[in-house]
A and B are shown apart, each in its own frame.
Chain A
Amino acid sequence: MSMPAYFTLKDKIWYYAFRVICFAIFFFLLAPILIMIPLSFNAQPFFTFTREMLTLNPEGYSLRWYQDFLGSSSWRRSIQNSFIIGIAATVVSTTLGTLAALGLSRSEMPYKGLIMGILISPMIVPLIISAAGMFFFFSSINIAQTYLGVVLAHAALGTPFVVITVTATLVGFDQSLTRAAANLGASPTRSFFKITMPLILPGVISGALFAFITSFDEIVVVLFVAGVEQRTIPREMWSGIREDISPTILAVATILVMISIALLTVVELLRRRGERLRGLSPQ
């Protein structure tokens, strides 16, 4: 995008002004997230840059908030909980979601629109309403404040993402491949694991990652359904922000940003691989 030679002065001003505006907006998007990284190394319990930090004096920096984070038993338990609940919920929602997507992408599927609507409803209904409903229901069947309750709730919230990503992968799936496998004598199970699964795997994995991040980041349902034993990282952050806000929050935030960067990279790589495999991308 270089500037064409015929640009008048007004065009030139507009050309630069537009880019300045755009970069200001990109700055607005990124700066709040990135600014927490240096602040999390603050040696003082403040949420702002101290004089020592600005002059790059090593004494202005410390790892004390990271020590605080890793040294506290409630934070450690929350890390454990987040992973246990996230992984269990992901397994449930990925299994059920992938099966459902396989059924939904068949042309013979009856009432497709209605069923799709029901299956993706957890994504549309405001979380506060889902959380309230689950709170009452789970209390009545005695699984509120248990791991099982939180896992089932998070699995329900994660399935729409699996259904949507896997269905999208199956749009480009060539059905004649499974017919060919059947023709050559493969059982439906065998042709699923040998033919279908490897081809839709990128979609399944990115759906699973979406389901995991949904659970990992979820807080509203946790507030209502989880007990003290099941507190996850967002739940601890919530108490941290509401009760005694300390820069430990920033250390946690920095670690979580690193995790999101890793996940973002994986999903992007998978998307490209998937497009290449299905021949959708010109590259």
Chain B
Amino acid sequence: MAMADATDQIGTETDKRGRLVTSDGTPLRRALERANRRRKISAFLLVSPLLAFILIFFAFPIAQMMWRSVDNPQIVNALPRTLDALQDWDRTGLPDERVFAALHADMLEDLDRERRDQKIGPLGIRLNYELSAARSAISRTARDVPNFEAPFRDAFVDAHRLWGQPDLWRIIQREGRPLTLSYYVAALDREYDEFGNVVRRDENRRIYVSLFGRTLALSVAITAMTFLLGFPIAYYLSILPMRRANLLMIAVLLPFWTSLLVRTSAWIVLLQQQGVINNTLVALGVIGDDGRFSLIYNQTGTIIAMTHILLPFMVLPLYSVMRTIPPSYMRAAKSLGATPWTAFRRVYFPQTLPGIGAGGVLVFIISIGYYITPALVGGQSGRMISNEIARHIQQSLNWGLAAALGSMLLVGVLVLYWLYNRLVGTDSLKFG
């Protein structure tokens, strides 16, 4: 009892087995666990509204879009009987009458469906991605189908010559599955040959691989330019006294805060054939009136404008790293006999590498997915992969291909971001 009295005074008790308990008799360990769990739950409850919001309105839409790159329901939905009959086709010559009869039945059934449930329209769009003219062939045939009489094979081939081409039937058989890789095949400038092997496209129809290559090359060029311009001013800012550095920092922060479209239109104004730069050069007599530079609507325009837009993203991380490098290291190196160049190369530069890595990856990630500036100042040669994705969504309406290109871009960016995170950690992301 004397024991219990003593522990009472410091606010704890023990039960019969000698375990510490709280005043209401629950073992201390369990009480602690419960309190901990409650705190965990309350922390999670604070985060959950935003987490749910981002998952529903951001992550889910992107996942859904990526799904489109493999989703392939059109042919399976529209032509179930035809696909069944096609199973024992040997892929040479035309399929037999049985297949055409099944096609007739499938198309007839579709005419009975309500307009918004019709499957033949989507089928035409889907087949058109693989074989241009397929859409018009199908819509023209669909109108005549009720009047067809056996033999159906001749009726179909008479209605549109495309039905007499084994190519079309090979596509229907190959793509008659709920999932497809054909959008990725197309996104890599490849196609299926008549034996179903993946081969490279004809030279003049290869677009996307070189576009990916150009996007990477432009991003590397922009990253290199921001580094070349960003390094000196970040260094200069870091050796200035705080007050003057903050003042000059405005030169970096003002562009950072200025609307993207304002900066892009500024470059249009400056770089045009009749713009400020060309006019000044003509007025100074550097170039003749007919020798004006074409600085815009090409790769030069994209590189200049994007270097200007992304430069702050290089300067800010570099500056924050350079501020922490003690100037005494350079002095020590010099007093030990290093030339300024050696001291810079062997002592100062290696210490700025984290900043260079952070800024470089940041600029590279942003520029690889950039859309607006290339679209406005890039012309034809300055286009990047994002512009092609937008074109397929808004104009050519090939959403599967857009999704395949987008998924490839997204995976690339996420890998880079993972590298960035390994390099510097997300905590170092700060603004302003």
Contact = CB atoms under 8 A, between A and B. Distances in A.
Contact of B429 (A22, A138, A153, A164): A164
A193 to B, nearest CB: 15
Interface stretch (A32-40, A55-63, A65-73): A32-40
A253 B266 CA distance: 9
B254 A33 contact: yes
A21 B420 CA distance: 30
A224 B410 contact: no
A122 to B, nearest CB: 5
Contacts of A277: none
Interface residues of A, number: 90
Say whether chain A's binding surface is mostly helix, strand, loop, or mixed.
helix
Interface string A220-254: 10011000000000100110011001000110110
A199 to B, nearest CB: 17
A273 to B, nearest CB: 13
Contacts of A257: 254, 258, 262
- Most chain A CB atoms below 10 A, which of B40, B50, B241, B394: B50
B260 A129 contact: no
Contacts of B432: 206, 210, 264, 267-268, 271
B431 A264 contact: no
B426 A1 contact: no
A129 B410 contact: yes
A99 interface: yes
A156 B54 contact: yes
A220 B371 contact: yes
Interface in B182-214: none
Contacts of A249: 265
A121 B49 contact: no
Interface string A198-225: 0000000010001001001101100110
A197 B111 CA distance: 64
Contact of B371 (A128, A161, A242, A253): A128
A195 B152 CA distance: 82
Interface string A19-46: 1011001101110110110010000001
Given A129-B65, A217-B259, A256-B259, A136 B269 contact: no
Contact of B47 (A36, A115, A133, A267): A115
B311 interface: yes
B269 A35 contact: yes
A30 B308 contact: no
Contact of B45 (A1, A103, A153, A213): A103
A126 B236 contact: no
B259 A260 contact: yes
Contact of A137 (B42, B60, B254): B60
A18 interface: yes
Nearest to B53: A96
A249 to B, nearest CB: 5
A152 interface: yes
Contact of A26 (B51, B65, B233, B308): B233
B426 A120 contact: yes
A125 B258 contact: no
A126 B45 contact: no
A150 to B, nearest CB: 12
A252 B50 CA distance: 34
Contacts of A25: 229, 232-233
A132 B65 contact: yes
B287 to A, nearest CB: 15
A129 B406 contact: yes
B300 to A, nearest CB: 15
Contacts of B371: 126-128, 220
Given A33-B266, A48-B275, A159 B259 contact: no
Given A137-B64, A249-B265, A253-B262, A128 B386 contact: yes
A87 interface: no
A49 interface: yes
A48 B39 contact: no
B40 A152 contact: no
Nearest to A106: B43
Contact of A99 (B46, B248, B264, B268): B46
Contact of A127 (B54, B255, B369, B430): B369
A3 interface: no
A145 interface: no
A135 interface: yes
A264 B257 contact: yes
Contact of A264 (B43, B253, B406): B253
A126 B51 contact: no
A96 B257 contact: no
B353 interface: no
A159 B50 contact: yes
Given A100-B50, A118-B55, A129-B410, A18 B259 contact: no
A216 B262 CA distance: 12
A225 to B, nearest CB: 10
B46 A100 contact: yes
Contacts of A115: 47, 51
B266 A128 contact: no
A263 interface: yes
Contacts of B399: 136
B232 A18 contact: yes
A119 B50 contact: yes
Nearest to B421: A117
Contacts of B259: 216-217, 234, 253, 256, 260
Interface string B337-378: 000000000000000000000000000010011111000100
19 contacts: A25-B229, A33-B263, A47-B269, A96-B49, A97-B50, A100-B49, A109-B40, A118-B54, A119-B51, A122-B58, A128-B389, A129-B389, A129-B409, A132-B403, A155-B53, A219-B372, A253-B261, A256-B262, A260-B259
Top 5 A-B pairs ranked by shortest CB distance? Answer: A126-B369, A103-B46, A137-B61, A133-B61, A103-B47
Interface of B: 36, 39-40, 42-47, 49-51, 53-55, 57-65, 68, 229, 232-233, 236, 239-241, 248, 250-255, 257-270, 272, 274-276, 279, 308, 311, 365, 368-372, 376, 386, 389-390, 393-394, 399, 402-403, 406, 409-410, 413-414, 417, 426, 429-432
Given A49-B279, A132-B389, A250-B265, 5 more contacts: A49-B276, A126-B409, A206-B432, A217-B259, A234-B260
